[in-house]
Chain A
Amino acid sequence: MKRFLPWIALLALTSVPMWLKDPYLLNAFVTTGIFIVAAMSLNLLLGYTGQLSLGHVAFFGIGAYTSALVSLGFDVELVGGFRVIHEPWPVWLGFIMAILVSGLCGYIVGKLSFRVRGAYFVIVTISFAEVVRLVALNWVELTQGPLALTSIPPMALGLPGLGYFEFFSKQSNFYLVLGVVALSYVIISRLVNSRIGRAMVALKENESLAVSVGIDVTRYLVLAAVVSAGIAGAAGSLYAHYLKIIDPDVFLFLYTVTMVIMVISGGKGTLAGPIVGGLIFGFIPVVARSFAAPEIQWILYGLFMILIVFVLPQGIVPAIEKWFGVGEEPGVPGAAAAKIQDAR
């Protein structure tokens, strides 16, 4: 049963644009989906290696800017009169560049900051995000600063000569985002259910024991950071080409907090957690908007969040598994881990 659940969920979501024609709700699905991808990437770090990256939005924003700039082209003068001119590239190349550049940033941040753990890692990642935001704000020649990068082309797939498909409509963007969610899910689930994922969980659980059984700590932490940053970059790229305008506000701390809320409420260290948490917190503002005044909406959002953390401290997914006695299969870390931590 549990094996088929992801497929059933995928099938159900595939049908959504067929019966849902309201553009506002479709838009909510698309933006929520983009943040779910980002939350899934955060979950890889937070839920499996146990490291909280509170600057995760940096990778998201870097992905957004990289993708936008690669597909728009730019012309900057660097120090010493050295001029870099970049002609616009196809959008799908921008998407790939976004993943690579974000992954590289993940590598650098990982290498530098995994010398420190816990609270220090949190501080390093926050600082990193803030520095990147300031660069995006002040390097006007490249990023237009607060004036924002505008008329970013929509995502397009295809080969020269065979024609392109542009993801212009909300329906097509829905499927695009759903595809990226599914792909990220597959990548993350394969990683965490392999010896690599076991190494990550071992580091979270008991680092000196992990080291003594021969696990190279830094290697797996950096690997998690690279994959996580790369997926966040992909989410950023989707964001840029969907909204078609980005400004340095994509680096707002608020977005990191949104991702953390999605992961924690859904259940960190579970594959479905960020998706469930993401759908709930992506749609609370939408649902609340239909009956409440703006100030009430956010109060409801906050109350609901506090309620979940209070009643289900280990998250929604582990709680549901416990109720239905599904449980994760023996040997699969995650829900079980959350249970024990909770009992302590």
Chain B
Amino acid sequence: MDARSTQAQPALSIEHIAVHFGGLVAISDMSFVVNEGEVVSLIGPNGAGKTTAFNVITGFLRPTQGEVRYRGSSLNNLKPHEVTSLGLARTFQRTSVFQSVSVFENVMIGLHRRGRSRLWDTLLALPRERESERELRARAAEILALVGIERRSRELAGSLAYGDQRLLGVALALAADPSMLLLDEPVSGMNATETARFMHLLDCLRGLGVTILLVEHDMPMVMGVSDRIVVLNYGRIIAEGPPAAIQGNPEVIRAYLGQGAKKRARD
């Protein structure tokens, strides 16, 4: 699980992906690689195709052409739950929790794939059922402690503060025990304190060796956590590189960051 030893090994590779919705080209020809243990951010203006790229990677959308590979195996014709079982878990931009069940139960749902009990164990209440449930409960408590919302575990997910709901969304993704996490705008709508907490959580995850692909508009955060940044505009990659290079890239500044960023980068 050591991040450094596996570095520079490509985990996720996107090869010449294109997505067309009828005549609309959402992604024209996208190729990039995320290495094991890396934190890569995907940024760009609204409508640039970031979420579309997420949906293609996680099997919610079929690409018009091209291939997505994770640790050597193609994800192209897999259903979302099959992609998850390969170790890729995602969070969503908006509704990312099961609103009307408790926080703890949310994580228990997320742990679905780890449960070992079969239908007969459940119906006959065999020891394996109880044992599996006990394991899941322990694991759920661990995950809640990791993301830092263990004190809320008895509350309904729908009644949580917004920032905590986002954290619960990450907890749900973590419950699938992923080797790679795809986070879709995880800190949007969070205040500064919540964002800081979230960045700390990302550091912890990176320490655990989890590879992370991030879509985010919060530039200070993106610049702070990313190893590399991929910039999309109109469905195509316009720049790729470490944060410092991206901040100074004239095309990125014109398309997305704006002139203010250039000044900030100089300061």
Contact = CB atoms under 8 A, between A and B. Distances in A.
A125 to B, nearest CB: 24
A208 interface: yes
B141 to A, nearest CB: 12
**Which secondary structure dominates where chain A touches chain B?**
helix
A195 B105 contact: no
Interface in B89-116: 89-90, 92, 95-102, 104-105, 108-113, 115
Contacts of A191: 122-123
B98 A205 contact: yes
A46 B96 CA distance: 23
A196 B100 contact: no
A187 B158 CA distance: 29
B148 interface: no
A339 B109 CA distance: 20
B219 interface: no
Given A195-B115, A199-B109, A217 B81 contact: yes
B119 interface: yes
Nearest to B124: A190
A3 to B, nearest CB: 14
Given A214-B81, A333-B101, A196 B92 contact: no
Contacts of B84: 211-214
Interface in A52-103: none
B122 A213 contact: no
Given A201-B109, A206-B95, A212-B84, A195 B117 contact: yes
A288 to B, nearest CB: 36
B206 to A, nearest CB: 21
B101 A213 contact: no
A341 B92 contact: no
A166 interface: no
Contacts of A333: 100-101, 105
A209 B102 contact: no
Given A187-B123, A340-B99, A213 B109 contact: yes
B99 A206 contact: yes
A249 interface: no
Nearest to B79: A211
Nearest to B84: A214
Given A331-B101, A331-B105, A336-B100, A212 B89 contact: yes
Given A187-B123, A208-B60, A213-B89, A337 B81 contact: no
B133 interface: yes
Contact of B119 (A196, A206, A213, A214): A196
Contacts of B113: 213-214
Given A202-B98, A331-B105, A337-B100, A212 B122 contact: no
A241 interface: no
A35 B110 CA distance: 35
The 6 tightest CB contacts between A and B, nearest first, are A214-B84, A340-B100, A337-B100, A195-B115, A205-B98, A331-B105
Interface of A: 187, 190-191, 194-196, 198-199, 201-202, 205-206, 208-217, 223, 330-333, 336-337, 339-341
8 contacts: A190-B122, A190-B125, A198-B112, A212-B80, A213-B173, A333-B101, A337-B100, A339-B100
